[in-house]
């Protein structure tokens, strides 16, 4: 099992940027998919995309291109989510979640999420 | 994208009774090459991150009580809690990871 510890809450003004970190400890960091999930206040779960921990290749879900960036520092076992040009609609809890990935159909795809970080609340307000 | 629709949106069940949550996908989640359904179930309690309960539609995650079970294939899936306990009050989500990955809207289970 992998423990995921995320950085603390953030309060940002519209137009600013934020970088959220997710540090992994324990086994099974390599050969994994590190996913990011958004949960707006009182709402459901929305998958933002994933990054392959072996190649560092990011994949973004529809609606999460342009202002969102995933990155990885394998030496620190840490994954990052950066959001630029923040607006109030970005106010949400952001979770990192680790799972396996598999080669099928035309490429690598993430599987179910075995481990979750505790979540990071990002509040965007003037 | 594949659309996942859960029913009902909320459910009130007495302690010790059965709870059943349905999840329907807009296309089949069964990958014929390995005969696996790419569906998972999660439980989210207030103020906590989600927790994986079931994957491959019916495989229980290690440590999950056996009162939780998953069934179904293709486009129709069910999560069953055989005997509801007080600690099972939560929102439950289905998730498909066939192409590429989407969640259902969630089902709130109350006592």
pLDDT per residue as tens digits for the range B80-108: 999 999 999 999 999 999 988 999 999 99
Q: For residue A100, give the chain B residue with the closest CA.
A: B97
Instruction: State the smallest CA–CA distance between residue A118 and chain B in angstroms.
Output: 6
CB B79, CB B53: distance < 8 Å: yes
* Cβ contacts of A37 on chain B, cutoff 8 Å: 50
Q: Which of A21-30, A78-87, B40-49, B61-70 has the lowest mean pLDDT?
A: A21-30
Output the pLDDT for position A59: 95
Q: What is the mean pLDDT of chain A?
A: 94
Instruction: State the smallest CA–CA distance between residue B106 and chain A in angstroms.
Output: 6
Instruction: State the smallest CA–CA distance between residue A6 and chain B in angstroms.
Output: 12
Q: How confident is the model at residue A1 (pLDDT cuts 50, 70, 90)?
A: confident
Q: What angle do CA A113, B58, A36 make, to 5 degrees?
A: 15
In angstroms, rounded to a whole number, what is the distance separating the alpha carbons of residues B77 and B95? 11
Output the pLDDT for position B33: 87
In angstroms, rounded to a whole number, what is the distance separating the alpha carbons of residues B66 and B25? 25
Q: Which two tokens stand for residue A56?
A: 């560092």
Query: Taking CB atoms and an 8 Å limit, are A110 and B100 in contact across chains?
Result: yes
pLDDT, average across residues A82-106: 93
Q: How far is CA B14 from CA B8, B18, B19, B68, B81, in A?
A: 16, 8, 9, 16, 12
In angstroms, rounded to a whole number, what is the distance separating the alpha carbons of residues A105 and A37? 24
Q: Which two tokens stand for residue B66?
A: 């056996």
- Give the model confidence (pLDDT) of A32-64 as tens digits: 999 999 999 999 999 999 999 999 999 999 999
Query: Taking CB atoms and an 8 Å limit, are A109 and B100 in contact across chains?
Result: yes
Residue A68 forms contact with B (CB below 8 Å):
no
Q: What is the mean pLDDT of chain B?
A: 97
């Amino acid at each position: 099992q992998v423990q995921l510890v995320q950085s603390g809450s953030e309060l940002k003004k519209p137009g600013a940027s934020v970088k959220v970190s997710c540090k992994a400890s324990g086994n099974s960091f390599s050969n994994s998919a590190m996913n990011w999930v958004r949960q707006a206040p009182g709402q459901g779960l929305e998958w933002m995309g994933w990054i392959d921990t072996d190649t560092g290749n990011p994949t973004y879900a529809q609606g999460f291109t342009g202002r969102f960036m995933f990155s990885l520092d394998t030496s620190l076992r840490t994954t990052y989510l950066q959001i630029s040009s923040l607006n109030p609609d970005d106010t949400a809890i952001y979770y990192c979640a680790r799972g396996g990935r598999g080669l099928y159909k035309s490429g690598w795809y993430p599987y179910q999420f075995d481990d979750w970080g505790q979540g990071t609340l990002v509040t965007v307000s003037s | 994208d594949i659309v996942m629709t859960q029913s009902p949106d909320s459910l009130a069940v007495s302690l010790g009774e059965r709870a059943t949550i349905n999840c329907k996908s807009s296309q089949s989640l069964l990958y014929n090459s390995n005969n696996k359904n790419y569906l998972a179930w999660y439980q989210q309690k207030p103020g906590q991150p989600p927790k994986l309960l079931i994957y491959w539609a019916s495989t229980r995650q290690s440590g999950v009580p056996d009162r939780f079970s998953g069934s179904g294939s293709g486009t129709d899936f069910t999560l069953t809690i055989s005997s509801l306990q007080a600690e099972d009050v939560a929102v439950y989500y289905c998730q498909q990871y066939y192409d590429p990955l989407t969640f259902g809207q969630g089902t709130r289970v109350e006592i």
